[in-house]
Structure 1
Amino acid sequence: MAAGGSNRLLTPDDTAERLAVSKRTLYAKWRAWGIPAYKVGKHLRFRERDIDHWVSQQACS
């Protein structure tokens, strides 16, 4: 997990847009990609700083 950054929770729509993938792809791949996600009630949410950290890790690979 990244140190610092926003704890804002993103919806799957927001996350898919941020990653430039479809929401369908996000739902199919988030576990395989290793993106941490959280259940809020019955809804899936992604923490903004986790997404930013994941993207930065992909850029370094």
Structure 2
Amino acid sequence: MKKLRCRKEFGVWYYEKVMPSCYNDLDAPIYELYDENQNFVITCGCYDEMKYYIETGNVY
């Protein structure tokens, strides 16, 4: 799990990049977002979408 870079005011967030493979049906990578306690929050399609979610609370 990697730490997501965002402003301090939004707290600490982590993410995991899931790549397409023969073990899943993905066509492109996805990003799974986790809170500071490393609890799953949401799945996003790109890095910028995660940052947007953290800053606004909305998905694209």
Please confirm whether the aligned pair reaches a TM-score higher than 0.5, indicating the same fold.
no
Structure that is richer in strand per residue:
2
Higher gyration radius (CA): 2
Q: TM-score, structure 1 length as denominator?
A: 0.29
Structure that is richer in helix per residue:
1
Task: State the structure with bigger RCO (CA 8 A, min sep 6), 1 or 2.
Answer: 1
